[in-house]
Amino acid sequence: MLYIPLAKPIQNFPCAFGGRKDSVSIPVCDSLHKGFLPNPLQYRKPADAGVDDARLEAALQVVAAEVTAARLPGAVVAVVRNGAVVAHRAMGWAQFNPEPERRPMAPDTIFDLASLTKVMATLPSVLYLLERGAFRLDDRVADFFPSFAGEGKAEVRIRHLLTHTAGLAPWLPLEQEPAPRPELIERILTAPLQESPPGRTVIYSDLGFILLGELVAKVSGQPLDRFAKEHIFFPLHLPEAGFNPPAHWRDRCAATEYREGLGRHQVGEVHDERSTVLGGVAGHAGLFATAAEVAAYGQMWLQGGLAGGHQILSPATIAAATCDLTRYSTDSRGLGWIVLRQGAECMSCGDLFMPGAFGHTGFTGTSLWLDPARQLAVALLTNNVHFGRSDVAIRLRPRFHNAVAAAVL
């Protein structure tokens, strides 16, 4: 793959990392008009897609400023308007730590997507099976997992897992007592609910999506990673999207957090502790992909489930999954997705996306937001946790998305 670097000079800046300050230059790489894009995406000049070039550049500089200030290691941004990629830029460092080597971000850097796994692997796999009559949203979870029993659990439905309204705890410390995968899943199935009855309170729960990943495996006979690869990623032409990247891809992966137990930063290994003890394949976290692949997946949702001549999901399913199903809560949820409603506050997509937009974030510093009214898909992938756990991405996301929305003509 060939990349076109920006013509403007690269700025030097003092950067702090791990108690050490070095004078380094910020690598910036623009991939417009060169390189791999998943079908049916293509590069186009911003003006030809109804985007103001200068305003779009200003949006990209919002991200670059965080890298320049050493608050963020690096990022890759992909912006799609009307099916055309109008920005695809890598900034900063995939791995800042010079041991074994300092590596710049590239447009095809592979990221640990963290909780984007929920909407990019688990959700479409569940919906794929739903469309084929494997179950209905109002089927009881206990009908598939008999040990999912106890006070209130008899009324928990598949739709409750998808909307985070089952009453399950956000997470369990599975990593503190590692065990074979079936035993770990059994701990989740037998854990008590935090809220009962279901369907009244939104509690964002990794456990619910772990169970949904297990539901895919139980119904289809294939583990989630194989099912998603075969039925979602392969027809979408997303070759890097998947779980547990092979070791020879690690020099293309963005580094995440330093782990005391390993004595190094993680690279190409799942960051989420619960996914780790589950073997790297779990319904809530563990997926890896590039920014272009994340944007292409988002574009499929904007096109009514169609991509590259393949109808991945039906328009009816897309519509059902992206409406606000939790109007009783301040946390607006569709099936899997966060859905923007009028007057919502503190949204990661900022203040200017249209009501009905939908998206999701990931703990490592990733996000995908889709604005159907503007036919706009925005993938912002960072390795924020490479510099430690901070709130940099929390403020960056809305400021960046505001600037992108303002660039749409």
Q: Residue holding tokens 């290691």?
A: 73
Residues near 200 by Cβ (< 8 Å), separated by ≥ 6?
165, 328
The one-letter amino acid at 94: A
- 21 or 345, greater pLDDT: 345
What are 45-75's pLDDT values in tens digits? 999 999 999 999 999 999 999 999 999 999 9
Closest CA to 81 of 398, 399, 369: 369
Average pLDDT over residues 170-191: 97
pLDDT value, residue 101: 86
Q: Under a CB-based contact definition with an 8 Å cutoff, are residues 145 and 211 in contact? A: yes
What are 366-403's pLDDT values in tens digits? 999 999 999 999 999 999 999 999 999 999 999 999 99
* Cα gap 89→71, rounded to integer Å: 18
- Please state the three-class secondary structure of the chain as a single string: CCCEECCCCCCEEEEEECCEEEEEECCEEECCCCCCCCCCCEECCHHHHCECHHHHHHHHHHHHHHHHCCCCCEEEEEEEECCEEEEEEEEEEEECCCCCCCEECCCCCEEECCCHHHHHHHHHHHHHHHHCCCCCCCCEHHHCCCCCCCCCHHHCEHHHHHCCCCCCCCCCCHHHCCCCHHHHHHHHHHCCCCCCCCCCCCCCCHHHHHHHHHHHHHHHCCCHHHHHHHHHHCCCCCCCCEECCCHHHHHHECEEEEECCCCEEEECCCCCHHHHHCCCCCCCCCEEECHHHHHHHHHHHHCCCEECCEECCCHHHHHHHCCCCCCCCCCCECCCCEECCCCCCCCCCCCCCCCCCEEEEECCCEEEEEEHHHCEEEEEEECHHHHCCCCHHHHHHHHHHHHHHHHEC
* Cα gap 218→213, rounded to integer Å: 9
**Structural tokens at position 330:** 């301040």
What are the C-alpha distances in Å from 223 to residues 42, 201, 206, 228?
Answer: 32, 30, 18, 9
pLDDT > 70 fraction of the chain, expressed in percent and rounded: 93
Confidence of residue 40 (pLDDT cuts 50, 70, 90): confident
pLDDT > 90 fraction of the chain, expressed in percent and rounded: 88
What are the C-alpha distances in Å from 7 to residues 4, 13, 381?
Answer: 9, 18, 23
Average pLDDT over residues 173-198: 96
pTM over cut 0.85: yes
Pick the CATH number of 4-117+237-407 from 3.40.50.970, 3.90.1860.10, 3.40.710.10, 1.10.10.10: 3.40.710.10
* Cα gap 350→329, rounded to integer Å: 19
Average pLDDT score over the chain: 92
pLDDT value, residue 255: 98
Phi, psi values for residue 340, rounded to 5°: -80, 125
pLDDT value, residue 43: 93
Measured in residues, the chain has a length of 409
Please determine, for residue 313, whether its predicted confidence score (pLDDT) is greater than 70: yes
Please determine, for residue 16, whether its predicted confidence score (pLDDT) is greater than 90: no
Please determine, for residue 264, whether its predicted confidence score (pLDDT) is greater than 70: yes
pLDDT value, residue 36: 67
**Structural tokens at position 216:** 């895919």
Domain range list for the chain: 4-117+237-407, 119-124+135-229
- 2 or 222, greater pLDDT: 222
Residues near 109 by Cβ (< 8 Å), separated by ≥ 6?
76, 90, 94, 252, 253, 254, 290, 291, 381
Average pLDDT over residues 129-154: 97
- 100 or 93, greater pLDDT: 93
